């Protein structure tokens, strides 16, 4: 596995939207996204002004959205 990029919540949202995900709802600072072609692919992204997401959160988002670290880097 390649090294995970350090990203903010906004950067992660932008990358997931480029991958085809759409925002289903927003609750507070958490954005819930789903892929329209495959609803089993989803992600919950916390967006806190300028804060970098912890690596465990990035890993969890990649796992639930079924994206690789390489794909995420290309989408950024």
Q: Is the pLDDT of residue 2 over 70?
A: no
Q: How confident is the model at residue 3 (pLDDT cuts 50, 70, 90)?
A: confident
Mean pLDDT of 6-22: 93
CA dihedral (16, 17, 18, 21) positive or negative? positive
State the DSSP string of the chain: -PPPPP-BHHHHHHHHHHTT-EEEEEETTEEEEEETTEEEEEEEEE--TTPBPPHHHHHHHHHHHT--HHHHHHH-
Q: What confidence score (pLDDT) does residue 73 get?
A: 92
d(CA 50, CA 75): 19
- Does domain 9-75 fall into CATH 3.40.50.11540? no
Q: Between 4 and 60, where is the model more confident?
A: 60
The model's pLDDT over 21-50, given as tens digits with 9 standing for 90+, comes to: 999 999 999 999 999 999 899 999 999 988
């Amino acid at each position: 596995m390649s090294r995970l990029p350090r990203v903010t919540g906004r950067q992660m949202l932008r990358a997931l939207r480029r991958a085809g995900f759409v925002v289903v709802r927003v609750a507070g600072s958490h954005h819930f996204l789903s892929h329209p072609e495959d609803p089993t692919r989803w992600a919950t992204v916390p967006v806190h002004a300028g804060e970098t997401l912890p690596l465990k959160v990035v890993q969890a988002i990649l796992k639930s959205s079924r994206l690789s670290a390489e794909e995420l880097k290309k989408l950024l």
